[in-house]
Structure 1
Amino acid sequence: SNLSPSSTMRFPIYIIDAFTSTRFNGNAAAVFLSKEEHECSQMLRIAAEFNLSETAFPVPLNSEESFETARAFSLRYFSPKVEVPLCGHATLSAAHVLFNEIGNAHNELEFHTKGGVVTVARDAKGVRMNFPVHAPKHVHLEGIHNERKELFEECESVDSASISKLIHSFIPSEISIISVALAADTPMLIIEIDPATTKQQLRSINPDFAEMIRIHSAADVFGIATVTVAPLDPTGQGFVSEEGTPFDYASRVFAPWIGINEDPATGASHCSLGPYCSAVLGKEEMNAFQCFPNRGAQFKVSVGQNERRVDIVGSSVTVVRGEVEL
């Protein structure tokens, strides 16, 4: 980096609420714009200063190009403690800044991340992101009648006793469990609960995270998505979008094993929830809701015919525009 330390420079910074069209909902990320990549230690300090789950650092891949003209960017993500390889809501936030704040000339951008290449495109509803599918397999557990086992292959190698104990440690006995699946690529455990579950009931699930970690090691589970699919009475249960559309599924995502007790808006969870719910519903296009207490996030999810990729469309809203002085 040839940024001279003697004189201070100012860099644009934005704070975005992603996966929502309403401020103070969804999941917040910061987006820092510099034409040249900064030292890792500096990016980490910037991320720690904002203290949001992630700060995104896009840089045009071709140094001749600007934020307005480039089509391909390198994109790195830092939490306040560590660099992360890929992050859905921070990707959406970076795309929102480039398309809607900067006025980038292209309709489609390519982000080169440490977790692979992610393409993003303008969409009437915000930004469309294309991710790989993480295929779910059903998990056979004693005492849980798995209503979906015909739909998925069986998951062979799994510690079913400890998974069973884990599930019963935080799902209240009055909520019935329909099915359990595991997407080994993530690895994400999917627990499908009663379609009569209300938003209030889903929000009242209150895990003991230390106990979860004690019961089950992070070897085959990084996160848990608790989901209700095809709500019986979406309006009565509270599962209707800001625009009045009923949700096809609603989830909460817990990941204490990687230091995130609960995530407010998890784009990557739909890599496995998308194909799971698509198989259950027999639909390719779905409206999804993530039910984080006091915030809420909305997603449009489509699982294509080839079933290898999933499209996730999300809106975003800018909350802060400013500068960082370095």
Structure 2
Amino acid sequence: MKLPIFIADAFTAKAFRGNPAAVCLLENKLDEDMHQNIAREMNLSETAFIRKLHPTDSFTQSSCFGLRWFTPASEVPLCGHATLASAAVLFHKIKNVNSTLTFVTLSGELKARKAEDGIILDLPLYPAHPQDFHEVKDLIKTAIGDTRVQDIRYSPDTRKLLVRLSDTYDRSFLENLKVSTQDLLQAETTGKVRGLILTLKGEPGGQTQAFDFYSRYFAPWVGVAEDPVTGSAHTVLSSYWSQELGKKDMRAFQCSRRGGELEISLRPDGRVDIRGVLRLL
């Protein structure tokens, strides 16, 4: 069996930056366990599988497809960067004729539309609620030690824990922070938390480009130690920082070793547009 598989670096215009995703086009139905086997073989944070919804559909002509995402360890309900990569493969490699694509996923219908510079994803927006520190103190202590914390929120929809570091820290502190992801698995075994977001308020522009907020994301519970650039985490971050900053339009930078930029715009319908560029390999 031969399957066309593409690799794209999402949320970056530079080679070997951003978040790499594998995209697999399925002409026919795939045995269920093969999805996980292929994702494990790709060994990227996510592998996306695009499938036709009807036998008469065409990857070049149709505008609606099924989409699933797998880490090397498990299927996940939402993945932003692999959705961006999927749209880019259809638009730029397969030459799909439509300007907007709809993906039917575990998180409902997601849309991706061509933009003058990049692709815009229409994603859900998930609120994060105040979280009692004592319930998660062991996890936070394990993750960041004595680092000062300004706020803690929890998103029940995504099972992501958002930890905002003190405003006294800067971007370089977050970038250099050492997090032992293996220890996180021992610190949180209840299943409540499936992803840990560390975030920091942005800095005004000077010699460096201005961003509204920074983040890093860890998800060893689904087989991803640290994700380079995470669209799904920004469905929570966008909601939080919009309230904190009083802004609907924001620029974000994820401070992983590879790094990546996201442009965010909260929509009147309670969803969020996330624009990203990418580089197809």
TM-score by length of 1: 0.79
Output aligned runs, 1:103-252, within 5 Å: 103-140=95-132, 160-173=133-146, 175-231=147-203, 233-235=204-206, 240=209, 246-252=210-216
Q: 1:313 aligns with which of 272, 275, 278?
A: 275
State the partner residue of 1:157: none
Distance in 1 separating the partners of 2:221 and 2:51: 31
Equivalent position amino acid for 2:26 in 1: S
| Matched-pair contact (CA < 8 Å) for 1:162–1:215 | no
| Matched-pair contact (CA < 8 Å) for 2:196–2:217 | yes
State the partner residue of 1:73: 65
Equivalent position amino acid for 1:111 in 2: F
Secondary structure of the corresponding residue to residue 97 of structure 1: helix
| Matched-pair contact (CA < 8 Å) for 1:230–1:281 | no
Q: 1:43 aligns with which of 15, 29, 35?
A: 35
| Matched-pair contact (CA < 8 Å) for 1:134–1:183 | yes
Secondary structure of the corresponding residue to residue 278 of structure 1: helix
1:269-295 per-position Cα deviation (integer Å, ceiling 9, x unaligned): 1111001000111110111111112x0
1:298 aligns with 2:270: no
Distance in 2 separating the partners of 1:10 and 1:211: 39
Distance in 2 separating the partners of 1:212 and 1:39: 33
State the partner residue of 1:59: 51
1:172 CA displacement: 4.9
State the partner residue of 2:90: 98
1:30 aligns with 2:22: yes
Q: 1:257 aligns with which of 210, 221, 226?
A: 221
Distance in 1 separating the partners of 2:275 and 2:63: 19
1:245-301 per-position Cα deviation (integer Å, ceiling 9, x unaligned): x111110011223332211111011111001000111110111111112x0011111
1:88 aligns with 2:74: no
Instruction: Give me the identity figure in percent.
Output: 35
1:222 CA displacement: 1.7
Distance in 2 separating the partners of 1:283 and 1:18: 25
Distance in 1 separating the partners of 2:80 and 2:49: 14
1:11 CA displacement: 4.0
1:126 CA displacement: 1.3
Q: Judging changes above 3 Å, is the alpha-carbon distance between structure 1 residues 49 and 247 closer, same or farther for their aligned structure 2 residues?
A: same
CA-atom RMSD in angstroms: 2.1
Distance in 1 separating the partners of 2:108 and 2:20: 22
Matched positions, count: 281
| Matched-pair contact (CA < 8 Å) for 1:19–1:89 | yes
Q: Judging changes above 3 Å, is the alpha-carbon distance between structure 1 residues 311 and 72 closer, same or farther for their aligned structure 2 residues?
A: same
TM-score by length of 2: 0.91
1:192-229 per-position Cα deviation (integer Å, ceiling 9, x unaligned): 12334333211222123343333333433222211111
- Structure 1 unaligned residues grouped into runs of 5+: 1-8, 141-159, 241-245, 320-326
Q: Judging changes above 3 Å, is the alpha-carbon distance between structure 1 residues 170 and 42 closer, same or farther for their aligned structure 2 residues?
A: closer
- Structure 2 unaligned residues grouped into runs of 5+: none
1:84-133 per-position Cα deviation (integer Å, ceiling 9, x unaligned): 34322111111001111122111111111233221111122311111222
Secondary structure of the corresponding residue to residue 33 of structure 1: strand
| Matched-pair contact (CA < 8 Å) for 2:39–2:46 | yes
